[in-house]
Chain A
Amino acid sequence: MSELSELYQQVILDHNKKPRNFRKLEHANHSAEGYNPLCGDHLTVYLDLEGDAVKEVAFEGSGCAISKAAASMMTQAVKGKSREQVEALFNEFHSMVIGELDEEAEENKLGNLKIFAGVRDFPVRVKCATLPWHTLHAALNNEQQVSTE
């Protein structure tokens, strides 16, 4: 069960149970819908961009513990960041969960998002962790919908 406890760490379980910024953002000026047809994970990411910066971000939807926790922690991580910083963080996060970035040895700004490193041992769950990020990316780029499979 050791890989399993790497995946389902207490922090992830906590964010699954009590997702942060889990609401519709009424005054959002950007939003996108993310959908994984394979497992039915489905969420909407709302963004309030002020100039180049993320002033506010929220999400709603349904999904597995990994996707929900990833979305919750993502909203905390990107708040206040510039568009460029958000995209850079997405790249690092993605590289980490597919096993191409050693989050301990290589320089990065992942911070507490490192907790998702365990996903790399579960290749079929990578899409769960990255769906919120793909959706955020779509919202930033004015795409309405994104689908991962």
Chain B
Amino acid sequence: MVQTLDSVAAAGVSNSWDVERIRADFPVLHQTVNGKPLVYLDNAASSQVPQVVIDRGSTYIEQEHSNIHRGVHYLSQKATTAYEGAREKVKRFINARESRECVFVRGATEGINLVMYGYGRKFIGPGDEIIISAMEHHANIVPWQMLCEEKGARLRVIPMNDAGELLLDEYEGLLNERTKLVGVVHVSNALGTINPVKQMIAQAHKYGVPVLVDGAQAAPHMPVDMQDLDCDFYVFSGHKMYAPTGSGVVYGKAELLEKMNPFQGGGDMIKTVTFEKTTYADLPNKLEAGTPAIASQIGLGAAIDYLNSIGREQAAAHEAELLRYATERISAIEGVRIIGTAREKASVLSFVIDDIHPHDIGTILDQEGIAVRAGHHCAQPVMQRFNVPATARASFAFYNTKEEVDVLARTIERVIEIFS
């Protein structure tokens, strides 16, 4: 069903995007699943890793492996240089003012928990309010619920319309002098909505309220500029942007990170330790206790180099065209309903089919080699809002092709046939 790579290239989405050349960079894409060429459309869950990133991680393990920030010996210096080099790359990637504002964590979830423990537990108390949105991933709901329960604070939720767009007037109405933090997702993993976070940050700042942006689905797909957004905290995961699992970043404005409590205690985050008192290290080490995922974070640095080398704007344009094409193809199938029809969307196409459970859709697609996510996408409140138990979700990366969308559309038609 999948055409050859040559014909894919010939039918290329745009002249400037050589998808065949790009696909050649990703070894995992070149395999069959259930006897069919793999069609990987689960990029919002985790994206694939290009050879250069794999090689960089391997080089560290083969030739540089040792602990960072500790050794005077040659290998430790090599490892430290590579690890801190990755931090510099992250700083430039998100246009932070300083690299010490980029804290390395295991992923976006750990990043939000770091802000909750370090900032929330210190500065949020009884009667205070935290605002989040109706389309948050559980990672940006549960930590704040835990904090509210502990502190007697209150969680407020910005509602959304039937297209999956936040109601900004309602948001304005929720902000008040009790608001101590706003947490909002940049791009919804379940709906694909791109939220106007720059505007939302400005609204919060009028009340002196800091904003945490969950950028897990945005950082891989669009330029994100910390100084332009003026956001206070921004978190994202490496494994959704072509790096290995275990890598991730919390960006925080230096003055906020400075006044936060540490997240975890241990080695590497201290200046001096006695049994009477410990003083903490400077940023970012204060927030990075213990030995981190060195190979993964170095891999994140390499993934950033890779993204820059292929051209982020062209990659984003190709993804936008894929999403447009997929939306057109799949919404034309009778019985299919797209969940999430915001004007501004990126990369994600969630859908349901009348009387067919997404799990059954997922199983049948898998038999044709197509990887999609079927379920609640760790966003159960979103499912409740749209009154569906779950959705099937195709999510795109710049290495996907229109032909893969065609395979998806044809197989969805087959699903409907089986159940008819």
Contact = CB atoms under 8 A, between A and B. Distances in A.
Interface of A: 1, 3-4, 7-8, 13, 16-17, 38-42, 62-66, 122, 124-125, 128
A83 to B, nearest CB: 31
A42 B360 contact: no
A39 B390 CA distance: 7
B390 A40 contact: yes
A66 B355 CA distance: 13
A14 to B, nearest CB: 11
Contact of A128 (B358, B359, B390): B359
Contacts of B360: 8, 64-66
Contact of B374 (A13, A39, A42, A66): A39
A40 B419 contact: no
Given A13-B418, A62-B389, A125-B359, A4 B376 contact: no
Given A7-B363, A42-B389, A125-B359, 20 more contacts: A1-B367, A3-B367, A4-B367, A8-B360, A8-B364, A8-B418, A13-B419, A16-B419, A17-B355, A38-B375, A39-B375, A40-B376, A40-B383, A41-B389, A62-B389, A64-B358, A65-B356, A65-B419, A66-B359, A122-B363
Contacts of A125: 359, 363
Contacts of A65: 356-357, 360, 419
Interface in B162-188: none
Contacts of A16: 419
A17 B355 CA distance: 8
24 contacts: A1-B367, A3-B367, A4-B363, A4-B367, A4-B418, A8-B360, A8-B364, A8-B419, A38-B375, A39-B359, A39-B374, A40-B376, A41-B359, A41-B389, A42-B389, A62-B389, A63-B389, A64-B357, A65-B356, A65-B357, A65-B360, A65-B419, A122-B363, A125-B363
Contacts of A39: 358-359, 374-375, 390
Interface residues on B, range: 10 to 19
A17 B354 CA distance: 12
Contacts of B390: 39-40
Nearest to A13: B419
Interface string B351-394: 00001111110011001000000111000100100000110000
A-B complex: 5 closest residue pairs judged by Cβ atoms: A64-B357, A64-B359, A40-B389, A65-B360, A4-B367
B247 to A, nearest CB: 26
A124 B362 CA distance: 11
Contacts of B376: 40
A95 B380 CA distance: 32
Nearest to B375: A39
Contacts of A1: 367
Nearest to B34: A3
Name which of A17, A38, A65, A66 has the most chain B CB atoms within 10 A of its CB.
A65
A93 B120 CA distance: 50
Nearest to A122: B363
Contacts of B363: 4, 7, 122, 124-125
B176 to A, nearest CB: 35
Nearest to B418: A8
A12 B375 CA distance: 21
A40 B389 CA distance: 6
Nearest to A2: B367
A15 to B, nearest CB: 13
A41 B357 CA distance: 10
Nearest to A128: B359
A39 B377 CA distance: 9
Nearest to A17: B355
In this complex, the member of A41, A64, A128 whose beta carbon has the largest number of chain B beta carbons within 10 angstroms is: A64
B370 to A, nearest CB: 13
B392 to A, nearest CB: 11
Contacts of A7: 363
A38 B362 CA distance: 13
Contacts of B364: 4, 8
A7 B376 CA distance: 23
Most chain A CB within 10 A, of B356, B359, B383, is at B359
Contacts of A41: 359, 389
Nearest to B361: A64
A62 B390 CA distance: 11
Q: Which of B363, B376, B389: most chain A CB closer than 10 A?
A: B363
A64 B359 CA distance: 6
Contacts of A62: 357, 389
A24 B375 CA distance: 26
A34 to B, nearest CB: 14
B418 A40 contact: no
Nearest to B359: A64
A124 B376 CA distance: 16
B185 to A, nearest CB: 21
A70 to B, nearest CB: 13
Interface in B284-337: none
Contacts of B375: 38-40
B292 to A, nearest CB: 30
Contacts of B419: 8, 13, 16, 65
Nearest to A39: B359
Interface string B250-262: 0000000000000
